[in-house]
Amino acid sequence: MDNKTIQPNNFDAQILEPAVSSSDNAVQSSNPSSPAPALWLQEKFRQYYANARPQVQQVEKREFGFGSWEKKIEFRHLCFENPQSLWMRLRKDAPLYVSCSAAYYEFPANRPMPNKHWLGADIIFDLDAEPDAISPFILQKTLDDVRSKAITLIEDFLIPDFGFSQDELHVNFSGSRGYHVRVYHKDSQVLGRAERREIVDYIEGVGLAFEDFFSEEAIGDSDNAHRHFSRLAGPSPNMGGYKGKFARRIIKMLNDPASAALISPKLKNAENVKRLICGIEKGNWSAVQIPHAVEQFRKIFLQTSLRLTNQVETDANVTIDTSKILRLPDSIHGGSGMLAKSIPPSKKLCEFSPLIDALAFSMKKTQRVRTLRKIPSQEFGAQTFDEIACAKEIELPEAYAIYLVCKKTAVPII
């Protein structure tokens, strides 16, 4: 390798420069103590970055961070004048991790943070599966679960409720266990931490007051108390927010005879169901008298997952933190060797399969590796690989070999 390595002290001295904006004063993310697999990976990553063009809006206003074998973010406060200087730097340094700020700054390289002059930040949702305590590998099923959660976030919340258009949404695979949904919406960029917390709370249904959903409305002759009767006023399906979601969910349940009967035995009668649906559409929930109706609906409300449930974690801190840096779309994730692949608007998210579509390296070329532990049978790159014993030398497709090396479960044999 002909890359110059710079001693850690010099490294710091260069990073401390207020604006690292060209490749001339580039720094190496490898150092003399980097282990052989890291240097080998770096060379592979360099080959990828020779032709790759990762993009992010307004690159000149973003803060970047590079990571190494030891640390995902080892150096931050980097900035680039234009996409070309970023690409040159990636080719030269080939960092194992590249992160980019959600925020826009006047002076992205300045520090401490207030000196950067924050201008705004995209809203980012980070959906991640819980890491498996036993296995470092990514399972297809886990990825499918997170993807369906990302689809729910977009189709049930971001588009209908928050009114974002498809063009304002950018989705990319995180490169590891989840997805990043980035919102480019000018009016929302100025929102601070407290406002972003409200958005997260909305999506997670925090602070929902079910008791505000219903009220008793008196109807009838106001002069004659005896002729008074009340109706249960509640949400209608065309309302926004959780009220509308709840009314629509109940109507859906009513349209299924088995579910309707669970609400009340009275709803075994199709005529009653029809009457109740007609009532709910107008906000009248007592078109059919259901004993203890509010309590009954409360139970359903608590059982129904109208909100993004905890099956997949939405990392609230990522959305709230207005100075967070996270994986640059279309860069390689050093923990998997896979791409933080952007999903183009032309491709449906439900058709995207990271273990096939987010590969940075070839499944045709091969690479010899020695395993450091038993590798379970798993799917990768549209193939199913058999279990591999520990300490075995084996020829594997390059992408899979890099994946195993990134997971620190194999070392390359060069």
Q: Is 182 a residue that touches other proteins (CB under 8 A)?
A: no
| Residue placing its CB nearer to other proteins in the complex, 186 or 226 | 186
Binding letters toward other proteins, positions 123-162, x by CB under 8 A: -------------------------------------xxx
Q: Which of 7, 238, 305, 309 binds other proteins (CB under 8 A)?
A: 238
- Round to whole Å and give the CA distance between 366 and 364: 6
**Could you tell me which stretch among 93-101, 276-284, 384-392, 403-411 binds other proteins (CB under 8 A)?**
276-284
State in angstroms the smallest separation of the CB of 154 from other proteins.
14
Give strand pairing partners of 78: 64
Q: Which of 242, 285, 361, 380 binds other proteins (CB under 8 A)?
A: 242
| Residue placing its CB nearer to other proteins in the complex, 29 or 188 | 188
| Residue placing its CB nearer to other proteins in the complex, 276 or 406 | 276
| Residue placing its CB nearer to other proteins in the complex, 30 or 188 | 188
| Residue placing its CB nearer to other proteins in the complex, 113 or 306 | 306
Q: Is 409 a residue that touches other proteins (CB under 8 A)?
A: no
One-letter-per-residue 3-state SS of the chain: CCCCCCCHHHHHHHHCCCCCCCHHHCCCCCCCCCCHHHHHHHHHHHHHHCCCCCCCCCHHHCCEEEECCCCCCCEEEECCCCHHHHHHHHHHHCCCEEEEECEEECCCCCCCHHHHCEEEECEEEEEECCCCCCCCCCCHHHHHHHHHHHHHHHHHHHCCCCCCCHHHEEEEECCCCEEEEEECCHHHCCCCHHHHHHHHHHHHCCCCCHHHCCEEEEECCCCCHHHCEEEEECCCCCCCHHHHHHHHHHHHHHCCHHHHHHHCHHHHCHHHHHHHHHHHHCCECCCCCCCCHHHHHHHHHHHCCCCCCCCCEECHHHHHCCCCEEECCCCECCCCCEECCECCCCCCHHHCCHHHHCECCCCCCEEEEEECCCECCEEECCEEECCECCCCEEEEEHHHHHHHHHCCCEEECC
Q: Is 241 a residue that touches other proteins (CB under 8 A)?
A: yes
Restricting to residues 282-321, name those near other proteins by CB under 8 A: 282-283
| Residue placing its CB nearer to other proteins in the complex, 16 or 190 | 190
Q: Which of 43, 156, 198, 321 binds other proteins (CB under 8 A)?
A: 198
Q: Is 190 a residue that touches other proteins (CB under 8 A)?
A: yes
State in angstroms the smallest separation of the CB of 328 from other proteins.
26
State in angstroms the smallest separation of the CB of 243 from other proteins.
6
Structure token digits, residue 199: 């958005």
**Could you tell me which stretch among 35-43, 203-211, 287-295, 404-412 binds other proteins (CB under 8 A)?**
203-211
- Round to whole Å and give the CA distance between 251 and 242: 14
Q: Is 144 exposed, middle or buried (0-12, 13-18, 19+ CB in 10 A)?
A: middle
With contact defined as beta carbons under 8 Å apart, do 396 and 366 qualify?
A: yes
Q: How many residues bind other proteins (CB under 8 A)?
A: 35
Q: Is 333 a residue that touches other proteins (CB under 8 A)?
A: no
State in angstroms the smallest separation of the CB of 264 from other proteins.
24
| Residue placing its CB nearer to other proteins in the complex, 88 or 191 | 191
| Residue placing its CB nearer to other proteins in the complex, 43 or 156 | 156
Q: Is 184 a residue that touches other proteins (CB under 8 A)?
A: no
Q: Is 251 a residue that touches other proteins (CB under 8 A)?
A: no
Q: Which of 239, 251, 261, 356 binds other proteins (CB under 8 A)?
A: 239
Q: Is 206 a residue that touches other proteins (CB under 8 A)?
A: yes
- Round to whole Å and give the CA distance between 218 and 347: 52
- Round to whole Å and give the CA distance between 143 and 127: 10
| Residue placing its CB nearer to other proteins in the complex, 29 or 314 | 314
With contact defined as beta carbons under 8 Å apart, do 144 and 131 qualify?
A: no
Restricting to residues 207-236, name those near other proteins by CB under 8 A: 207-209, 212, 233, 236
| Residue placing its CB nearer to other proteins in the complex, 186 or 364 | 186
Structure token digits, residue 300: 């359903």
State in angstroms the smallest separation of the CB of 206 from other proteins.
6
User: Interface with other proteins by CB under 8 A: which residues?
Assistant: 160-164, 185, 187-188, 190-191, 194-195, 197-199, 201-202, 205-209, 212, 233, 236, 238-244, 281-283
